[in-house]
Amino acid sequence: MSRIVGIDLGTTNSLVAFVDEKTGLPRVVPDREGHTLLPSIVAFTPDGVLVGDAARRQLVRHPERTVYSVKRLMGRGYEDVNDELCYFPYKVLPCEGIVKIDLGDRAVTPPEVSAIILRALRERAEAYLGEPVEKAVVTVPAYFNDSQRQATKDAGRIAGLDVVRIVNEPTAASLAYGLHRLKEGVIAVYDLGGGTFDISLLRVEAGVFEVLATNGNTRLGGDDFDRAIVLWLLDDIRDRHGAYLGRDAEAMQELRLAAEAAKIRLSSDERTTLTIPFEAFTYHQEITRADVEGLIARLVEGTLGPCRMALADAGLAPADVDEVVLVGGSTRVPLVRRRVQEVFGRPAHSQLSADEVVALGAAVQAHILAGGITDMLLLDVTPLSLGIETLGGIVSVLIPRNTTIPTSAREMFTTSVDGQVVVDMHVVQGERELARDCRSLARFELRGIDPMPAGMPKIEVVFLIDANGILQVAAKELRTGKAASIEVKPTYGLSEADVERMVEDSFAYAEADVEARLLIEARNEADTVMTHVERALRQSGELAPADEREAIRQALEELRQARSGTDRDLIHERTTALNRATEHLAEVMMDAALKDALGSKRAAEILASRGES
């Protein structure tokens, strides 16, 4: 059985998990430092590409080259994201139906950025499991449309991963809960993350997880809470300091990070203080939970309409729901919990870590697909209706939303002109009456129809929504029995050739990226050692003889020179040399500290004073 991992590719954080054969339970894979969350941030620095925490550290210094929340751009066109762009410090450009992120010297697509995150997770899993990882189940918001799902699959391919299944996040969460609690009945999964909101209602019975209805908003999440706070801060700063910082990318990053941190503190505290040092002044402000609740109330309300719609679609009343499960970091906000409790009339569960539950569920689904679990079955639904544009731009629905997938629909077509050999059609996804208000998924050309009088050909077109929620199409002319060929032109998304090129590029960059990461790590280590040594010289240098001090200074200078270059081995070598040159000083410093301690001071005091230094 080849292993399949489960990946939660989140707006804010991403994780990878697997099912431990010994216990039969899913586990999240930690990195070398034991962290399980990988911040979904990619920084394109002059030295190379950084992912996760290392990339986060570039947010303030290189805001225009550090990409976060890329999930919000996946599978979307420029018009879709236009009104959100002012919030991104990086530049987003329209590009043949999709968007690209402009890095100055080159532009990258959202799937390429996501692929860098996926590759980092893949490498983490391979290092931990000690075996190659080639297959994954990747989760997406239930409310993702076809283009967004396709973009996620493309990202997997670029990262060298075969995405064997795309699973809806709330469904994955319910699988993790199901395994954990084994309770039957109707479960509502309320999933509010950094950038997206989903509500799913499931019936769990005899190991079958059947999604009854799903609804949501792929443009609503904790990022929006942060923005509401930032807008308030911008006004307050203008009133009190006479400075408008809205156009200063670095200041906006500082504000965003401070707003998010304050929001998180206010989930447990009633009030908190923000202190943000800017060049011209230091901003200081106390903010209460009630203040923030006032700012985000409208956004939280925005999640309740979809909850009611999902209940209506499933034909359920709130009282029919047996359990409410909270998923996603933003469900830690007390106002969110209160409002969800009011809508469903019962307190919500959050026993499993809201951060990990989706990845754990993805690992369960991966294990089911790998044949490791045989008594659980997942029946998911398509979140949005699929239709065809007909005369006058009206949508004729073929597959209504909340239909269990995989599913198919048939539609008959004919020709309107004698001898016509090609038929055009337009497939859309959405709930609106007019095609122009729905998401244009694809245009199809049916070719190879035998020339016949108008109206004679009987062309049957079959639309299949596969288990990933992705559309596939087949067509046949019934009179001749000849399959008409279909040329799919996805309205949004990458072409096959684009993906191929990106896969190749990713191999080319992979080596450079590893090199760049190692160089940055070597420099970071050098910086840490140099800072410590400089401090030791300043504070206790007199404990060492003059010639030793001189040798240390020389080793410091040599390391400083190596650090400004790109020779990683030389940086390592000189870091080791500096460490060695300070061994004796470190010893005498330790002796002196011990003597002090034995003399009179209490050890705790010494430690405290050393911690300060």
Which residues bind to ligand AMP, rule: CB under 6 A? 10-13, 193-194, 221-223, 260, 263-264, 267, 328-330, 332-333, 355
Looking at the Cβ atoms of 220 and 484, the one nearer to ligand AMP is 220
Conformation bin of residue 605: beta by default, left when phi > 0, alpha when psi is -120 to 50? alpha
Query: Cα–Cα distances in Å, from 563 out to 45, 266, 576, 582?
Result: 17, 41, 13, 18
Q: Please name the amino acid found at residue 84.
A: E
Pairing between β-strand 377-379 and β-strand 208-217 as defined by DSSP bridges: parallel
Conformation bin of residue 248: beta by default, left when phi > 0, alpha when psi is -120 to 50? beta
Q: How many whole angstroms separate alpha carbon 557 and alpha carbon 539?
A: 19
Q: 330: how many CB neighbours lie within 10 A of its CB?
A: 29
* Shortest distance, position 83 Cβ to ligand AMP, whole Å: 19
Element of type H or E holding 526: helix 496-540
* Shortest distance, position 195 Cβ to ligand AMP, whole Å: 7
* Shortest distance, position 306 Cβ to ligand AMP, whole Å: 17
Looking at the Cβ atoms of 15 and 115, the one nearer to ligand AMP is 15
What are 42's two structure tokens? Answer: 């990619």
* Shortest distance, position 222 Cβ to ligand AMP, whole Å: 2
Do residues 7 and 14 lie in contact, with contact meaning Cβ atoms separated by under 8 Å?
yes
Q: 110: how many CB neighbours lie within 10 A of its CB?
A: 27
- Say whether 191 is catalytic: yes
Which of 80, 84, 112, 169 is an active site residue? 169
Query: Cα–Cα distances in Å, from 421 out to 105, 410, 413, 415, 606?
Result: 46, 20, 12, 8, 89
- Say whether 169 is catalytic: yes
Looking at the Cβ atoms of 15 and 446, the one nearer to ligand AMP is 15
Instruction: Show the CA angle centred on residue 85, arms to residues 101 and 111, nearest 5°.
Output: 35
* Shortest distance, position 355 Cβ to ligand AMP, whole Å: 6
* Shortest distance, position 40 Cβ to ligand AMP, whole Å: 8
Question: Which residues, including other chains, have CB under 8 Å from residue 6's CB and lie 6 or more apart?
Answer: 16, 17, 18, 26, 136, 137, 139, 172, 359, 360, 361, 362, 363, 364, 365, 366
Looking at the Cβ atoms of 68 and 90, the one nearer to ligand AMP is 68
Looking at the Cβ atoms of 238 and 271, the one nearer to ligand AMP is 271
Q: Please name the amino acid found at residue 456.
A: M
Looking at the Cβ atoms of 191 and 389, the one nearer to ligand AMP is 191
Looking at the Cβ atoms of 329 and 457, the one nearer to ligand AMP is 329
* Shortest distance, position 334 Cβ to ligand AMP, whole Å: 9
Element of type H or E holding 54: helix 53-56
Looking at the Cβ atoms of 153 and 263, the one nearer to ligand AMP is 263
Q: How many whole angstroms separate alpha carbon 270 and alpha carbon 417?
A: 71
Of 126, 134, 93, the C-alpha closest to 110 is 93
- Say whether 8 is catalytic: yes
Do residues 46 and 83 lie in contact, with contact meaning Cβ atoms separated by under 8 Å?
no
Looking at the Cβ atoms of 189 and 405, the one nearer to ligand AMP is 189
Pairing between β-strand 197-205 and β-strand 208-217 as defined by DSSP bridges: antiparallel
Of 4, 310, 45, 320, the C-alpha closest to 162 is 4
* Shortest distance, position 594 Cβ to ligand AMP, whole Å: 42
Do residues 601 and 575 lie in contact, with contact meaning Cβ atoms separated by under 8 Å?
no
Report phi then psi at 103, rounded to 5. Answer: -105, 15
* Shortest distance, position 108 Cβ to ligand AMP, whole Å: 22
* Shortest distance, position 383 Cβ to ligand AMP, whole Å: 18
Of 381, 439, 395, the C-alpha closest to 145 is 439
Question: Which residues, including other chains, have CB under 8 Å from residue 134's CB and lie 6 or more apart?
Answer: 2, 160, 161, 162
Looking at the Cβ atoms of 194 and 493, the one nearer to ligand AMP is 194
What are 526's two structure tokens? Answer: 């050098």
Which of 84, 112, 154, 191 is an active site residue? 191
Residues tagged active-site: 8, 71, 169, 191
